[in-house]
Structure 1
Amino acid sequence: MEGSENTYPIDPENAGELARLMQQDRLLTEGMGGLLPEPGIALPERGRVLDLACGPGGWALELAFQYPKAEVIGVDISRQVIEYARAQAWSRGLENAHFEVMNVMEPLVFEDGSFDLINGRLLFAFMLPGAWPKLLAECDRLLKPGGILRLTEMEPMLTTSPAYETWMALIAQALKRAGQSFSADGRHFGIMPVLPRLVRKAGFEQVRLRATVIEWSMGLDLHYAVFKDSLIGLELVQPFLVKVGVATREELERLYQQAVAEMQQEDFCGLWNLLTVWGHKPLAGGENKPGEGS
């Protein structure tokens, strides 16, 4: 991976991050109610699907398993992550799952009208605000008429841990300083409020929203899984926070230890808030109306 291309706050080729992303894929799919739980999203039996910034391929691999006659293609900037996803597809005998090294902030090497569905989850972590309209225009080009774009994003998690809340605030500030945030003041990531409008302005129709909240309070089944995901993420994001100057390594280490203790308290409560936005490429004829409803 070329450093100049990499806007990930966490090195996606770190072994710990690879394991975290695989687990996170399963967490998100389970917490959101399945691979394609939104009403009105139906994949043709022999449909073609593109998964943007697919990481180690968890969602794409599961979709390829569930839809054996469909073709599922995942793209990611990290060659090591793509090689891992290819190995997973091979080991599971999923000949309908393919993975390619591509940067989704650049034009993608697929023909016009190639896909029935384009999916993307948690792209906020690396996407530059100015790259979103370009990516959505590319999705419009790649989708067949009537095809569906489906995007899921998040804002900082809500918890009763003062240290974890501070962590979320620091990450939001760091993304703002790095120019990777829509937030006006750096108090949140800023992607959820603007995502529906971005999708409408790109010309998609019948744009709908579905909120998901994953509760990971102490005593619930998902507590340990999200707790573990958070711990690894907090550890691996530290170099990024130090680099952009929102905290020192010593301050982060103290906060980390405090957060670990607080998230294991008997009365700990936590919510992971997500928003899925999906819309259809117009069927045919006439000009798209990018400003409609915006």
Structure 2
Amino acid sequence: MSHTQSIPLRHGLLFFFEEDVNGHQDRATQPPILLPQVQEDSPSPASRGALYPFYTPSDPLVLDEQVLVSPAHPLEWRRRSQQARMLMQHFRVPLPEQPEGFPMKRILDLAIDPNGEWLRHLAARAPKAECIGLTSQEITARQTAFFAAVQGCHHVSTQICSLTRPLLFPAESMDLINGHFLHAILPEYAWPLLLEDCFRLLRPGGVLRLLECVQGKSTSAAAGTLCATYRQQMDRLRAAARPSAPGTQTIRSARPERLPIRMEKTGFVAIKQQESLLDFSARTPFHSTLREQADDFFQLLEPFCTPHACSRETYQQVYHEMQLELLEPTFRGYWHLCTTWGYKPSRHILRPIPSMHVEQPFPQVLYTCSLPCSLFIEQEETQAHGNEQRREMTTPAPTN
């Protein structure tokens, strides 16, 4: 039995994902192939206004200990540098959700961008705060230190440290811990350890702030095909690394939308979220920047996708189709950004009572359902009918 998924491209071209699920053994090792088929009189996706999945800065580039894209690759360096400058132009300030007079004496940036863009902007606005940036690349640390010195921010320092290991700082020594798109570089198993480490490092009342991209959408069907190829390959490797029971699927628990739940389990309180829409449609200020980032991203992922998901020729054909669609005047694209922050409990910000948590030993339907269950209604009617019969039997008959 085979499953076929199709995504229409411009000029009536369709690309199909075809995978044989219950095929013979000799076909089991063959990858799904993108088969181009021509359909006439098919309107373009842009004219229909359809939106397809698009690359996001939170797409994972690591799987356990396997690194899919090297951070030192020139294209990855350029992509992350452009991304950091674009975000600063989009938000205008390093901490748009925090009040202006938020007290900060020591700040930790968990994974600085290649030039330390966000950390240096924050240091310029907080000249009395000690700003520390972490990175796993020595060249990134030197580059950030150089630009900070040129900018005159002598209270900026960098340390080479992996986020998969404990952070070597004293407990309760930070006022603010920041992270941008950590889902792209942090393995799934390391998330609970990192959150617990951040909770340990923060002073009472300190803030953990995490920015992630929940989803990306665009009118480019070819970009949607490339995203489907990449995510299909990620699911295969994840399922192979963590085999589950027959008939079930391996569930990815580390997702950007699950951050509030993870932070609450760690102990953070007063957790809030702020959403933002970054528009990179045609004729917008960020269109050319996002077009270059998408080109770099899918070019970096070609060695990862082509050996198993499709042939190199097919991948290149869809890649060039995406480049053309991103240049169309009707192109539309969006990133749904979400900033999540929470506080370490203090005298002013208390930890909630455990019994108030959602996770209780009682079934959730007992306290969330607003309408009575039909079984309960039937039991109540039976009980009321029995009470009425007993009342009639015990009530003496009226005498004339």
TM-score range, shorter chain: 0.7 to 0.9
Is contact 1:152–1:277 with CA below 8 Å preserved after alignment? yes
Q: Does 1:223 align with 2:269?
A: no
Partner of 1:202: 266
Instruction: For 1:213, give the aligned amino acid.
Output: L
Deviations 1:156-182 (A, max 9, x none): 4100000111222233334434449xx
Match of 1:48 in 2: 106
Shift of 1:101: 0.8
Equivalences for residues 245-284 of structure 1 within 5 A:
245-283=308-346
In the TM superposition, 1:120-269 aligns within 5 A as 120-179=179-238, 191-242=255-306, 245-269=308-332
Residues 1:193 and 1:5: Cα distance change in structure 2 (over 3 Å): closer
Instruction: Provide closer, same or farther for how the CA distance between residues 40 and 133 of structure 1 changes in structure 2, counting only shifts above 3 A.
Output: farther
Is 1:292 aligned to residue 357 of structure 2?
Answer: yes
Alpha-carbon separation, structure 2, partners of 1:93 and 1:5: 39
The whole-number CA distance in structure 2 between the counterparts of 1:122 and 1:66 is 22
Structure 1 unmatched runs, 5+: none
Residue pair 1:65, 1:94 contacting (<8 A) in 2 also:
yes
Alignment of 1:72 with 2:131, yes or no, is yes
258-267 or 119-128, larger mean C-alpha shift: 119-128
Tell me if structure 2 keeps the 8 A contact 1:9–1:126: no
Contact in 2 for aligned 1:200/1:292 (Cα 8 Å) = no
- For the 8 Å contact 2:219–2:331, the answer to whether it is kept is yes
* Number of residue pairs aligned between Structure 1 and Structure 2: 287
Does the CA contact (< 8 Å) of 1:201 and 1:289 recur in 2?
Answer: no
Q: Distance in 2 between matches of 1:42 and 1:216?
A: 32
Cα separation, 1, equivalents of 2:86 and 2:323: 20
CA contact (8 A) 2:145 2:157 kept: yes
Q: How big is each residue's C-alpha offset from its partner over 1:34-73, in whole Å with a ceiling of 9 and x where there is no partner?
A: 21011458542x5211111213121112111222211111
Amino acid paired to 1:84: Q
Structure-2 residue corresponding to 1:27: 86
Identity of aligned residues (%): 30
Change (3 A) 1:83 1:292: farther
Q: Which moved more, 1:62-71 or 1:195-204?
A: 62-71
- Contact kept, 8 Å, 2:209 with 2:340, in 1: the verdict is yes
Gaps of 5+ in 2: 1-61, 240-247, 360-400
Contact 1:68/1:96 (8 A) holds in 2: yes
| Most deviating of 153-162 and 263-272 | 153-162
RMSD over equivalenced CA pairs, Å:
2.9
Is the CA contact 2:233–2:309 (under 8 Å) kept in the aligned structure 1? yes
* Cα distance in 2, alignment partners of residues 26 and 231 from structure 1: 18
Aligned to 1:61: 120
Contact 1:231 1:260 in 2 (8 A): yes
Residues 247 and 42 of structure 1, relative CA distance in 2, 3 Å threshold: farther
**Which letter does structure 2 place at the counterpart of 1:201?**
K
SS of residue matched to 1:144: strand
Partners of 1:156 and 1:164 in 2: how far apart?
A: 14
| Separation in 2, partners of 1:256, 1:13 | 23
1:167–1:202 distance in 2 versus 1, CA, 3 Å: same
| Residues 31, 179 of structure 1: alpha-carbon distance in 2 compared, 3 angstrom cutoff | farther
TM-score w.r.t. the length of structure 1 is 0.87
Q: AA paired with 1:196?
A: P
Output the CA distance in 2 between the equivalents of 1:52 and 1:188.
23
- Distance in 2 of aligned mates of 1:118 and 1:15: 28
* Compared CA separation, residues 72 and 247, structure 1 to 2 (3 A): farther
Distance 1:269 1:34, change over 3 A: same
In structure 1, the residue matched to 2:166 is 107
CA distance 1:189–1:172, change in 2 (3 Å): farther
Change (3 A) 1:234 1:144: same
Query: Contact between 2:279 and 2:335, CA under 8 Å: does it hold in 1?
Result: yes
